[in-house]
Amino acid sequence: MTARRAMGRDCAVHVSHRHHVPIEIHHVWPKGSGGPDIPANRIPLCANAHGAIHDLLRQVVRANGLKNVPWPHRRLYGLAVVEYAARAWWAITERPEQLPADFTDPVSARLGRPHSQDDRNRRKQQWRDKRRANGGPA
């Protein structure tokens, strides 16, 4: 597996890193399993997220399904990692003629995570204001 790397902050799993990190292009439906090399099948990931998705996907393939991976192993991964591994497993087993329109949509948007550093800063400030209003330390 050779991943194309560049420095950046956008990661489909972790949304936005504070500093630039190596960003790799991940094929949601792995090319080695018949996935196409088209933009609709690619997402940017940091190296940690990329490794985590492939690690969980290996376990899913060995167990013949995500539900067969023991919970103590599955719980080690975040929801976004589990979702992308599940999408890959679906594509490997179903081999669709055409990828669904939402195949590479950011999982984080569905999970309600902040989309940018500005959103994070705004939420932090709201939390601080709420603590101050309740008499707690800022």
Choice among 38-42, 55-59, 98-102, 108-112 with the minimum mean pLDDT: 108-112
**pLDDT of 136 above 50:** yes
pLDDT interval class at 26 (50, 70, 90): very high
**Per-residue three-class SS string for the chain:** CCCCEEEEEEECCCEEEEEEEEEEEEECCCHHHCCCCCHHHEEEEEHHHHHHHHHHHHHHHHHCCHHHCCHHHHCCCCHHHHHHHHHHHHHHHHCCCCCCCCCCCCHHHHHCCCCCHHHHHHHHHHHHHHHHHCCCCC
pLDDT interval class at 80 (50, 70, 90): confident
pLDDT digits (tens, 9 = 90+) for 90-117: 999 988 887 777 777 666 554 444 445 6
pTM exceeds 0.75, yes or no: no
